[in-house]
Structure 1
Amino acid sequence: MRVNSGAGPDTGWSFTNDARRVQIVAAAIETVAELGYAKASFAQIAKRAKISSVRLISYHFADKADLFQALVDTVQEQARTAIQPQVRAHHEPAAMLAAYIEANLAFLAEHPVEVRALVDVLANARREDGGPLVGTAGFDTPVALLVQHLRDGQRSGAFRSFDAEAMATAIRASIDAAANRLAAGDDFDPLAYGRELVTLFDLATRNGGTA
Structure 2
Amino acid sequence: MQSKIDSSDQPARSFIETARRAQIIDQAVATIAELGFAQASLARIAKRAGISAGVISYYFAGKDDLIAEVAAHVFDAGEAWVRPKVMRCTSATEALRTFLIASVDYIATSPSNVLAMMNITHAGPKPDGAPRFDPNVTLGRSEGLSRVLEWGQKTGEFRAFAVPVMVTTVIQAINGVTPALARDPRLDLAAYATELADLFDRATRKDLP
8 Å CA contact 2:30–2:112 kept in 1: the answer is yes
Which residue identity does 2:40 align to in structure 1?
A
Tell me how far 1:145 sits from its aligned partner: 3.2
Name structure 2 gaps, 5 residues minimum. Answer: 1-5
1:12-43 per-position Cα deviation (integer Å, ceiling 9, x unaligned): 21111111111111110111111111001111
Counterpart in the other structure of 1:30: 30
Q: How many aligned positions are there?
A: 204
- State the partner residue of 1:55: 54
Q: Distance in 2 between matches of 1:84 and 1:102?
A: 12
> 124-133 or 155-164: which moved more?
124-133
Opposite residue 121 of structure 1, the aligned amino acid is I
Q: Which amino acid in the other structure matches residue 192 of structure 1?
A: A
Identity %: 33
Cross-structure match for 2:105: 106
| C-alpha contact (below 8 Å) 1:27/1:45 kept by paired residues | yes
The 5 Å alignment of 1:1-211 reads: 8-51=8-51, 53-124=52-123, 126-185=125-184, 187-209=186-208
Between the aligned partners of 1:18 and 1:144, the Cα distance in structure 2 is 29
Query: Structure 1: any 5+ residue segments left out of the alignment?
Result: 1-5
TM-score under structure 1 length normalisation: 0.89
Output one character per residue of 1:80-122: Cα deviation in whole Å (capped at 9) or x when no partner: 1111111011120100000000000100111111111111112
Letter of the 2:134 partner, please give it.
G
TM-score (normalizing by structure 2): 0.90
- Say which structure is richer in helix: 2
| SS of equivalent to 1:140 | helix
CA distance in 2, matches of 1:84, 1:90: 10
Which consecutive aligned stretches of 4+ in structure 1 deviate over 6 angstroms post-superposition?
none
- Residue aligned with 2:136, SS: coil
Alpha-carbon distance, 1:125 to partner: 5.3
Contact 1:112/1:183, CA 8 A, preserved across alignment = no
**Which shifted more, 177-186 or 199-208?**
177-186
Displacement of 1:186? 5.3
Cα deviation, residue 11, structure 1:
1.3
Residue number in structure 1 paired with 2:3? none
Relative to structure 1, is the Cα distance of residues 96 and 67 closer, same or farther in structure 2, using a 3 angstrom cutoff?
same
Measure how far apart 1:184 and its partner are. 4.4
State whether residues 92 and 157 of structure 2, in contact with CA within 8 Å, keep that contact through their aligned partners in structure 1. Answer: yes
RMSD: 1.8
Render the CA deviation track for 1:143-186: whole Å, top value 9, x for unaligned: 34323321221111111122222222211111111123224455
Change (3 A) 1:12 1:29: same
